[in-house]
Amino acid sequence: MSGTGPTSGAGPGVSGVILTVTPNPSLDRTYEVPSLDRGEVIRATGERMDPGGKGVNVSRAAAAAGRRTVAVLPLGGAPGALVAELLAAQGIEVAPVPVAGATRSNIALAESDGVLTKINAPGPELSAEEQELLLETVREQSRDADWIACCGSLPRGLAPSWYADVVARAHAGGARIALDTSGPALLEALRERPDVVKPNAEELAEAVGRPLATVGDALKAAEELRGMGARAVLASLGADGQLLVEEAGTWFAAARVDVVRSNVGAGDSSLAGFLVAGGSGPAALASAVAHGAAAVRLPGSVMPTPDDLDPAAVTVTAEVPVDRALLEPVS
C-alpha cells in the first residue's frame, strides 16, 4: 500500500490539487436487485465493488472530472489494500496511513425503483499513534492543496473536535477547507470557520435542532450555520435541489432527473462538482447540481464524467422558493 503525494514547490491555489481526507473509508459492494424481500433468496441483476467513504468519493468524482486529487485515508488489512488498488486504478494519488485494524466493508442493495438499503460496518478504532500519523499525513500532503475536503463520520478513537483541528491547521497553511460531516463533529468544526460546509437536509435539521418543512426553513437553517462560523453553506435538499448561502449572495438550484438508479455517492459527486468549478458562486452551484444529478442516473457509486453531465437540465436562481414544501420534510 504505497502512495504518492503531490510534488512540492507549488503554493495553495497554484497546482489546483483537491486533497480529500476520509477518516473512516470503506470497501463498498453494491448489488442491484429487483426488490428487497425479507427472508427470501434475492438474485442480483448487477453488482459493483468500489472504494468507499465520502472523501474517497469526492476524489473519485474530481478525478473523473479531470482534476488532480490526492486521497488521505487510514487503511488496514486486505480490504484496505484493495481500496488503495482500486483508487490507483482510477488515477487517484493515495496517501495511506497504515492502521492495525481492517478497513470496513459496506453493502448496498439498490432496488429497481431507486430505493437504497445500506449496511455500514463501524470500521476500526484508531490508536493515539495512528490518529497523530493521520493528522501529520494531512499536514504533509496539504502543502500543494487548493482545497481540502474533509468528509464523513469519524472512526472510533477520534474525538468530535478532530475535524476542528484539521480546519485550524489547514487555514494556518493557507488552504481552503470544505467540510461534509454531521453531529458534534460539525458543530465543533464550525468554530474554526470552515470555508464551506455541505449538510444534507437531515444534517441541517439536526444542526439547528428543529424540523425543516420548506425550502425557506432550510434557508434559515443554513443562515444560522453561517452565524455559527461557516463561511458558506452548500445545503443538499435531495430531489428538491440545493441551496448555496455565502457572503456574496444566496442561490437555489435544481435539476431534472428522469431515472434514478442509485444515490450512493451523489452528494459527494455534488461536492466535487462544486470544488472543481471554483467552490463559490452560482456557477459552482450549477456544477454541483449537474454532478449530483448525473450521479443518481448511474449504477452503484459510479462517478460521472463530463460526458455524463447535462448542464441544460440545471436551473439556478437568486429567487429562492422559500414557500415550497420539501418533498420529504425532515424532523
Catalytic sites, residue numbers: 268
Backbone angles phi, psi at 72, to 5 degrees: -100, 125
Whether the Cβ atoms of residue 8 and residue 144 lie closer than 8 Å to each other: yes
Distance CA 300, CA 116 (A): 10
Helix (H/G/I), strand (E/B), else coil: 118: strand
Helix (H/G/I), strand (E/B), else coil: 21: strand
Q: Which amino acid is residue 200, in one-letter code?
A: N
Distance CA 177, CA 182 (A): 15
The distance of Cα 1 from the centroid of its chain, to the nearest Å, equals 23
- CB proximity list for 130: less than 8 A, separation 6 or greater: 74, 97, 99, 100, 157
Q: Which strands make up the sheet holding 104-111, listed edge to edge?
A: 46-52, 26-33, 104-111, 116-119
Pairing mode of beta strands 93-98, 69-75? parallel
Cell numbers at 66, concatenated: 479531470
Distance CA 111, CA 300 (A): 11
Q: Beta-carbon neighbour count of residue 319 at 10 Å?
A: 8
Cell numbers at 97, concatenated: 496511513
Whether the Cβ atoms of residue 193 and residue 225 lie closer than 8 Å to each other: no
Whether the Cβ atoms of residue 193 and residue 276 lie closer than 8 Å to each other: no
Compute the residue count for the chain.
Answer: 331
> Is the backbone of residue 152 left (phi > 0), alpha (psi -120 to 50) or beta?
left
